[in-house]
Amino acid sequence: MKIDLRRFDLKLAHRWAVARSVQADGSGGADICKVVFVELTDADSTAGIGEAAPSARYEENADSAFAFLEGVDPARLSFADVPGSMKYVDSIAPQNFAAKGAISIALFDGAARRAGKPIYGFLGLDFAEQKHITSFSIGIDKPEVIRRKVLEAAPYPVLKLKVGGPDDKQNLAALRGVAKKKPVRVDANEGWKTKEDALRQIEWLAADGHIQFVEQPMPATTAPKDLIWLKDRSPLPIMADESYLSARDVDLCADCYHAVNVKLVKAGGITGACDALQAARKAGLKTMIGCMIESSVLITAAAHLAELADHLDLDGNLLVTNDPYLGATAEKGVMSFARTPEKVGLRVRAKT
């Protein structure tokens, strides 16, 4: 097996800010997101592509991901033995979930190509066209910019509004000035520090009448008793994101949340994400598949698992201007493989 690595800067259409990156005056955020692409090629020229989109929230970045991937011995990887290959990858070092996820995606891409199936078929899943709707995310910004972003997002039937900045109430008002009754999901990214403040904020949001749920209202380090207190009183469902990294967190989240957000970059790839989704469903939790700022490689990989989710938030590639790959599409918010140039494996192709 041969392994090739490539760094890439995804350029955002708008500055991207969430609660942990925005400053008290509303400044902060990022204009680019650094990712690493992985390509595996075996002796018969079967190839698989993967992507690492690491987050500082989990003490990872493009440099750490690249360093981890440089330490992978490609001779220990095989499209014929994805579980064994990932057992080796997991043994190299702890954490590094985004980098491990990139290897996982590339291995499944190659394995499914060899089997002549799309990844979802290789996993024994299906993918129903015209069924799976993704939300479109609006990052923290000034109200006048929020209004422009919402206008640009007009084709998408569900929005996701980031909160936890100084202008939350003005931003929701700006959104409603354009999209009066459109369903909105709200993501606080651990922005509210006490259960009382979180409850006040959720009660304010509930008065809107069209908020579907609230993601990660409090820090993942919050005492379970405080999260349970909030869950019992919240007028809106609350969803774990930073609190739900993998299936290992399911018992805690079943007590403290109504739903969980599963991301391939947190779970260490496709197998980990499948395990996290299935464990959550078994525990009675609603599920969403989410993303970071990513290219079509990661977004398409996540779309293969759509049948395991109640909601999708797979818009990371829609927020950038230089996605180097073609994969699953989201025209008018509907996830689809109908127009993908590749019919097996990951179903992604590099743009020419």
Third-level CATH fold of 2-116: Enolase-like; domain 1 (3.30.390)
Name the CA dihedral angle for 10, 15, 19, 22, rounded to a multiple of 10 degrees: 120
Confidence band for 23, pLDDT divided at 50, 70 and 90 = low
Q: Reply yes or no on whether the pLDDT at 266 is more than 90.
A: yes
Multiple choice CATH, 136-350, 3.20.20.120, 3.40.50.720, 3.40.50.460, 3.40.50.80: 3.20.20.120
Beta strands 136-138 and 159-162: pairing type?
Answer: parallel
Q: In this predicted model, what pLDDT tens digit does every residue of 302-345 receive, in sequence order?
A: 999 999 999 999 999 999 999 999 999 999 999 999 999 899 99
Q: Reply yes or no on whether the pLDDT at 27 is more than 70.
A: no
Q: In this predicted model, what pLDDT tens digit does every residue of 121-167 receive, in sequence order?
A: 999 999 999 999 999 999 999 999 999 999 999 999 999 999 998 99
Query: What is the rounded distance in angstroms from the CA atom of residue 113 to the CA atom of residue 79?
Result: 9
Q: In this predicted model, what pLDDT tens digit does every residue of 194-250 receive, in sequence order?
A: 999 999 999 999 999 999 999 999 999 999 999 999 999 999 999 999 999 999 999
Q: Reply yes or no on whether the pLDDT at 28 is more than 90.
A: no
Residue ranges per structural domain of the chain: 2-116, 136-350
Position 21 scores a pLDDT of 67
Q: Reply yes or no on whether the pLDDT at 258 is more than 70.
A: yes
Q: Reply yes or no on whether the pLDDT at 350 is more than 90.
A: yes
